[in-house]
A and B are shown apart, each in its own frame.
Chain A
Amino acid sequence: MWVRHLQVVSFRNWAQADLALRPGPVVLVGRNGEGKTNLVEAVAYLATMSSHRVATDAPLVRHGADQAVVRAALRRGDRELLVELEINPGRANRVRVNRAPLQRPRDLLGLVRTVLFAPEDLSLVRGDPTERRRFLDELLVTRTPRLAGVRSDYERVLKQRNALLKTARMARGRAIETLDAWDGHLVALGGELLAARLRLVADLAPHLASAYAAVAGEGAVTATLGYASTVPAAGDGSPRPSRGPSGAAPVPALPDADALPDADALPDADALAAALRDRLVERRADELDRGVTLVGPHRDDLVIHLGPGPAKGFASHGESWSLALGLKLATFALLRADGEDPILILDDVFATLDAGRRAALATVARSAEQTLVTAAVLDDVPEELRGVRVEVGGGAATVRDGTASDGGGSDGSVAPSSAAGAPGGGPEEEGR
């Protein structure tokens, strides 16, 4: 999948930007604060409907505007996909796909697939469990869009149940008798979410092992994944048994053939729901005491292991970077194995990587159907990725064909659009 045309209106610092792109590597260069990241953030927003930089939508809308608009024409194989998204902070977003409005904005999830790697990703290794749960759940929804509904229903039940637990101590009549009714929802939705997460961890682990081996180089220890759950049946955080002996040569990248026997051994949603229910009964007194739900996927964690021990707290800075990169490359490999290349977005990361990691990242980036790279200076970007260049500065984004591209292959889609083509012409041109 690749972005053929991107247009943003009133998005972040952009009044308007209009870019005609090509498959392969695309580098957005410009000084800090000109809005390079904002453009790739807009593409990533189409995939997750959330930003990797802020928790709410309000900062995405240009100062003084009521709403922001992101339009993208994407190519999937030989088919065109036109996605238009209107960001309305505080109100429901509106989405149109191929000019037809979607009933619910969340139906867009899973349609546009991106993998974004940014400096913020270091928190996947070093940050709170929240970051890792969000990483897992967003990937879940991308692969199985139906789970978006399960995820939001689970959040809603959790809020209701916590509100009930909080007021329970004040003993308002029979209210606490309704706890069982909420428990029914919680275990059904929680069981489904747990089962999906366990399967995802099992699917992702072999990809992480090979991606980390490629990033960290010869002789590095093996990276593995475990799931630490408040429901014991769902995992205690120890690494899942992998095929190869631990500490030996990197696990060969044969996930499709390899993952199946392991995946079959995973407990199913019904078994996990039953285990969750048992655990709720055990912790009932504690929950009433503390007034919050203590058991369920909302308190679980993805545990990243490096060699014999957990990475968090033990991995060096360099190892943490390699793991964060490894996780994102594993995500890319997993989505690719599902049948389609996601759009790879590398936001300001080459400057912070050493030569070995740069090379490993560049190899994958070169092979992707489209890679969007942002950098302050072109010298930071590995030679083989300097294809199409987008110069960002002075409120305009201008597409230039890179010297490293195929030369005379001008096929119409290369031509910069009117707004982007006028150097210094400003982004204030009339929209469609």
Chain B
Amino acid sequence: MYEGAVQDLIDELGRLPGVGPKSAQRIAFHLLAAESADVGRLVSALQRVQEEVRFCVTCFNVAEGEQCRICRDPRRSDDVICVVEEPKDVVAIERTREFRGRYHVLGGAISPIEGIGPDDLRVKELMTRLMSGAVTELIIATDPNLEGEATAAYLARLVAPLGLTVSRLASGLPVGGDLEYADEVTLGRAFEGRRRIDA
């Protein structure tokens, strides 16, 4: 154990995801030895995140202001909404530059073990957006694990009465990989979702 302030810092850092007690200690002592200007920049960055960053009122992506950059962009299509679990999934999909519609961030996936049900996610808000009439297609891009699949199945059933086109992201072989190294589940899914080649 260290003196009050240092131990407090280690404890706070240790609460961050992916940071164990040893890393917390290392970061704390790095900060102690750092220039005060460097620490000042970190402090103000933390403060600005706290004060300025909000969740977009429309899609619940991170935003500076009422709406996020994507919801404000007039060039994007209002016809298609892509549902993801977390804001970081928006960033991942944006990197592909393949998708020109809007997003909706659920804030997680259904997981009864952790006490997360549909009421803890932004499901009601999604339904409101879908019922506005502008949207014709819903792409469900939750994680391809059990919880993500269950969330997708639940959403698909929920929106079925609206008569939209609903799709789920495909799973399959990684590009540039070797067939022999794919696991059986992925390879099985790739077979299920195979595509016709137009000659």
Chain A residues in the interface with B (C-beta under 8 A)? 146, 149, 153, 156-157, 159-161, 163-164, 167, 172-175, 177-178, 180-182, 184-185
Is B162 part of the binding interface, using a Cβ–Cβ cutoff of 8 Å?
no
Q: Is the CB of A146 within 8 A of B151?
A: no
- Contacting residue for A181 out of B115, B119, B150, B185, CB 8 A: B150
Q: Is the CB of B153 within 8 A of A181?
A: yes
| Shortest Cβ gap from B91 to chain A (Å) | 25
The distance in angstroms between the C-alpha atoms of A181 and B119, with both chains bound, is 15
User: Which residue, of A146, A181, A184, has the highest number of chain B Cβ atoms within 10 A?
Assistant: A181
Please indicate the chain A residues that have their CB under 8 angstroms from the CB of B147 in the complex.
160
Interface of A is mostly: helix
Contacts A160-B146, A177-B154, A182-B150 given; 14 further ones with Cβ under 8 A?
A146-B184, A156-B146, A157-B146, A159-B113, A161-B112, A167-B112, A173-B118, A174-B118, A175-B119, A178-B112, A178-B118, A178-B150, A185-B146, A185-B149
Q: Is the CB of B113 within 8 A of A185?
A: no
Please indicate the chain A residues that have their CB under 8 angstroms from the CB of B118 in the complex.
173-175, 177-178
Contact sample, A vs B, 11 pairs, CB 8 Å cutoff: A156-B146, A160-B113, A163-B115, A167-B112, A175-B112, A175-B119, A178-B118, A181-B150, A181-B157, A184-B150, A185-B146
The distance in angstroms between the C-alpha atoms of A386 and B88, with both chains bound, is 64
Residue of A nearest to B157 (CB): A180
- Contacting residue for B117 out of A146, A156, A173, A180, CB 8 A: A173
Please indicate the chain B residues that have their CB under 8 angstroms from the CB of A180 in the complex.
153-154, 157
| Shortest Cβ gap from B69 to chain A (Å) | 32
Please indicate the chain B residues that have their CB under 8 angstroms from the CB of A172 in the complex.
117, 119
Q: Interface code B113-153, partner A: CB below 8 Å = 1, 0 otherwise? A: 10101110000000000000000000000000011011101
| Shortest Cβ gap from A337 to chain B (Å) | 24
Please indicate the chain A residues that have their CB under 8 angstroms from the CB of B115 in the complex.
163, 167
Residue of A nearest to B113 (CB): A163
The distance in angstroms between the C-alpha atoms of A103 and B185, with both chains bound, is 15
Is B111 part of the binding interface, using a Cβ–Cβ cutoff of 8 Å?
yes
The distance in angstroms between the C-alpha atoms of A197 and B165, with both chains bound, is 39
